[in-house]
Amino acid sequence: MDITSKNVIVLGGAGFIGSALVDELLRTDINTITVYDNFTRGVKNNLEASSKDGRVKVVNGDITDLDSLDHAIKGQDVVFHFAALWLLHCFEYPREAFEVNIGGTFNVLELCVKHEIPKLVYSSSASVYGDAMFTPMTESHPFNNKNFYGATKIAGEQMCRAFSDRYGLDYVGLRYMNVYGPRQDYEGAYTAVMMKMLDRIDEGKPLPVFGDGSQTYDFVYVNDVARANLCAAVSDSTDAFYNVGTGIGTSVKEIAEILLDLTESDVGIKYEPEGQTFVTNRIGSIDAAREHLGFTTNVNLVDGLKNLVTWRNEDKKRKMMDL
């Protein structure tokens, strides 16, 4: 699909990845972008620059509100679906996880069919795989998930397939590896390990690393993930899911060492007993995304973390000035 002069809606568009996609879309000849967000995790400041563009319309709405969502989706050419509760929130509040991630996604799919939306790009997650049974994990890796968040994403994927089979819904699903970068939440209850490490550096305390720090993940930069969504929207692929990552594994210990180096900190690392860990090994194969979507990553880990540290420092200064 050529998205030139098209109308798109980004559900969860004020969030971490969603707002990065809005920026990416504004670099194209898109007609209009509707940002639909309830601002539970999305942040209005993420849209500070993009909302000044006349093509962007911001709607305060929730995917569980069928009437509001119906009005927002009507007339769109592409729906990007990011709206969801995050992993730890789902762990603590499983009923909310069901209502938002599963019930809300059903609303999205139902309305895409009702309004004959030409393309849906659904944000899934590598959480569907659970711990790797082999690496790199291809899209045929078994669903080995054991947590509520992953369960909701599996449900979302299966509903996409069912709507495609029953109604001919044209969709592409993306399974994100560990996404990081600017606009990542560092103040909420559910912050990523990188942000917790940077907090400790600010406090002059050693970085906590659980076990021996050998837990290995595929860290992918948020702007690359945004581009993957655009690649999925314009591709001819349909009724398929693709990994979005780098195909490179990096241990938690290595992340800590890079952050210490980038911040020129000497606080060191403190190894602690292993706590609760949802997965300890997850690296994705990116061959299918490269072949079928034309997607490859542009940003390496060190440069991405450097951008993250710079953005976080600037954002903290901005918030101090706003007090």
pLDDT in tens, 2-57: 999 999 999 999 999 999 999 999 999 999 999 999 999 899 999 999 999 999 99
Contact 143, 129 (CB under 8 A): yes
Res 1: pLDDT = 87
In sequence order, what are the residues at sequence separation of 6 or more whose Cβ sits closer than 8 angstroms to the Cβ of residue 115?
A: 73, 74, 75, 76
pTM of structure = 0.95
How far apart are alpha carbons 48 and 58 in whole angstroms? 11
Average pLDDT of the residues in 291-302: 97
| Tens of pLDDT, residues 166-199 | 999 999 999 999 999 999 988 765 568 899 999 9
Res 44: pLDDT = 94
Quick one: pLDDT band at residue 272, thresholds 50, 70, 90? confident
CATH number of 7-179+220-245+285-297: 3.40.50.720
Q: Which of 128, 126, 64, 46 is nearest to 101 (CA)?
A: 64
| Tens of pLDDT, residues 83-94 | 999 998 999 999
Q: How do the domains of the chain map onto residue ranges?
A: 7-179+220-245+285-297
**In the chain, pLDDT over 70 holds for what percent of residues?**
97
Amino acid at site 296: T
Res 190: pLDDT = 57
Average pLDDT of the residues in 189-210: 88
**Active-site amino acid positions:** 149
Under DSSP, is residue 237 helix (H, G, I), strand (E, B) or coil?
coil
Instruction: Quote the mean pLDDT of the chain.
Output: 95
| Tens of pLDDT, residues 49-83 | 999 999 999 999 999 999 999 999 999 999 999 99
How far apart are alpha carbons 240 and 217 in whole angstroms? 23
Res 59: pLDDT = 98
Whether the per-residue pLDDT at 298 is higher than 60: the answer is: yes
Quick one: pLDDT band at residue 273, thresholds 50, 70, 90? confident
Res 277: pLDDT = 60
Res 147: pLDDT = 94
Q: 94: cis peptide before it, omega within 30°?
A: no
Res 290: pLDDT = 98
Largest CA distance in the chain: 59
